[in-house]
Amino acid sequence: MIISKRARAISPSMTLAIDAKAKQMQADGIDVIGFGAGEPDFDTPDFIKQAAIKAINDGFTKYTPVAGTVELKKAVCQKLKEDNSLNYDISQIIISCGAKHSLFNAIFTLCDDGEEVLIPAPYWVSYEELVKMAGATPVIVNDLPEENGFKLTAQRLKEAITPKTKMLILNSPCNPTGAVYEKQELEALAEVIVEHKIFVISDEIYEKIIYDNKKHYSIAALHPEIADLTIVVNGVSKSYSMTGWRIGYAAGPKEIITAMSNVQSHATSNPTSIAQKAALAAISGQQDCITEMVAAFDSRRKYIVQRLNNIKGISCPMPHGAFYVFPNISNLCGKSFNGKPITDSFALTEFLLNEAKVAVVPGDAFGAKGYLRLSYATSDKNIENGLDRIENAVARLI
């Protein structure tokens, strides 16, 4: 066998695959509307681009320290203090090639073969595969009630912990559900985490994309005991529309961050020097760009939820964060089109792509049967047209 067991166990990223498929169909002249991509449709703000152009012109084009430049790590410390009430020293920060890379480093650094990592479902597609890549075992916590935003409770966490549990992956605001954990919910989880001495990765990449006056809390900020067990992951991709620049970061106990830096030193070395300058400008510059983007997402969110709820067979709760809706389509499963049954979310996704020319992501990719994920990080016009198409196509199911 040419391919290693470890690589064979990994599925491709469904979110990226669907986005690539929609883009390829568009390039082939097919009029597809993409709700697949989890990336803001706005351009990167100009002051951030200018910082990168200046970095190139200044010759800032060489290796930097593996874990990132001191100035960027200082800016991250400052941001974590101001926004999240987190106190870290620069030795507790690592800059990586995107939050995905930070997650990889953290999981790879902490997990040994056979150790279990708890992942509440629905979860972002990459968590499960990242855990497998590290040789650990993903343990999916299923059947969390939709009425409570599928949020993990202390009780369910307690029940899922075994002697092999190494850590929990928590994501608030959540991709794909948009759920936001309240402070009391995090306090209850932290109590169990501390009692059982497991670790938690807190993926806070959508912290700024939040609505309805909800407030984002970092679990690490609750008390020193939980901070010692938490690796906070964040980045600039979503907040500043910088997905292509590939800058993310992690903060946590010094011993863990140092080990993550050792791993990174052999895998990628530093993240791109130019992108680090751009991220520095983003984090330490004017934050108005975020307010404008979030206001646009907010109005799209309300529109898309209302349109989806008007389609018979679909029900869609209002998400409080991120830029996804996660409608329940279980009432459409069992229907058929031209004699072909719509058995599950994969079949519905295929039907919508072929018949409505609309790309969405099946809920099964996120560990949830009977749901779809639509990203509303696309133009108002696309959202309106796309919803018309979905409505018309669904009406043709019998």
Least CB distance to ligand PMP at residue 297 (A):
14
Of residues 64, 175, 218, 378, which one binds ligand PMP by CB under 6 A?
175
Residue placing its CB nearer to ligand GLU in the complex, 92 or 349: 349
Q: Which residue has the tokens 């196509």?
A: 393
Q: Contact with ligand PMP (CB under 6 A): which of 34, 45, 98, 319?
A: 98
CB of 358 to ligand GLU, least distance (A): 16
Q: Alpha carbon of 176 to those of 239, 241, 285, 294: distances in Å?
A: 17, 18, 29, 17
Work out how close the CB of 63 gets to ligand GLU at its nearest, in angstroms, rounded to a whole number: 26
User: Based on CB atoms, which residue is closest to ligand PMP, 103 or 347?
Assistant: 103
For residue 248, the partner it binds in ligand GLU, ligand PMP, none, with Cβ less than 5 to 8 A by kind, is: ligand PMP
- The strand ranges marked E within 102-215 are 116-120, 137-141, 165-171, 199-203
Choose the contact partner of 328 out of ligand PMP, ligand GLU, none; CB within 5 to 8 A by kind. none
CB of 126 to ligand GLU, least distance (A): 6
Task: For residue 179, give the amino acid letter.
Answer: A
38 binds ligand PMP (CB under 6 A): yes
| Dihedral angle computed from the Cα positions of residues 178, 134, 167 and 217, in that order, rounded to the nearest 10 degrees | -40
Residues near 114 by beta carbon (within 8 Å), at least 6 away in sequence: 135, 136, 137, 164
Q: Which is nearer to ligand GLU, 175 or 273 (CB)?
A: 175
Q: Residue 381: left if φ>0, alpha if ψ -120 to 50, beta else—which one?
A: alpha
Q: Minimum distance from CB of 114 to ligand GLU (Å)?
A: 26
**Comparison of 239 and 332: residue with beta carbon closer to ligand PMP:** 239
Residue choice 92, 109, 165, 171 for contact with ligand PMP (CB under 6 A): 171
Note the residues at the interface with ligand GLU (CB under 6 A): 13, 15-16, 37-39, 124-126, 175
Q: Amino acid letter at 278?
A: A
Residue 171 contact among ligand GLU, ligand PMP, none, beta carbon within 5 to 8 Å by kind: ligand PMP
Other beta carbons less than 10 A from residue 3's beta carbon: 9
Are 290 and 240 spatial neighbours (Cβ–Cβ below 8 Å)? Answer: yes
Applying CB under 6 A, which part among 96-104, 179-187, 207-215, 305-313 lies near ligand PMP? 96-104
> Strands, DSSP E only, in the chain?
33-34, 93-96, 116-120, 137-141, 165-171, 199-203, 230-235, 248-251, 324-325, 336-337, 340-341, 358-359, 361-362, 372-375
Burial readout 252-269 (b: 16 or more C-beta within 10 A, e: otherwise): bbeebbebbbebbeeebe
By beta-carbon proximity to ligand GLU, the closer residue of 104 and 124 is 124
Q: Please give the helix or strand (H or E) that residue 32 lies within, else none.
A: none
Q: If binding is defined by CB under 6 A, does position 248 make contact with ligand PMP?
A: yes
Interaction partner, residue 16 (ligand PMP, ligand GLU, none; CB < 5-8 Å by kind) = ligand GLU
Applying CB under 6 A, among 79, 100, 307, 357 the residue interacting with ligand PMP is 100
Smallest separation (angstroms) from ligand PMP to the CB of 343: 27
The binder of 125, among ligand PMP, ligand GLU, none, by C-beta within 5 to 8 A per type, is: ligand GLU
* CA 368-204-175 angle, 5° bins: 20
Among 26, 142, 243, 385, binds ligand PMP (CB under 6 A): 243
Report the C-alpha gap between 81 and 381 in whole angstroms. 39
Both structure tokens of 263:
């791993």
Contacts with ligand PMP, residue ranges (CB under 6 A): 38, 98-100, 124, 171, 175, 203, 205, 235, 237, 243, 248
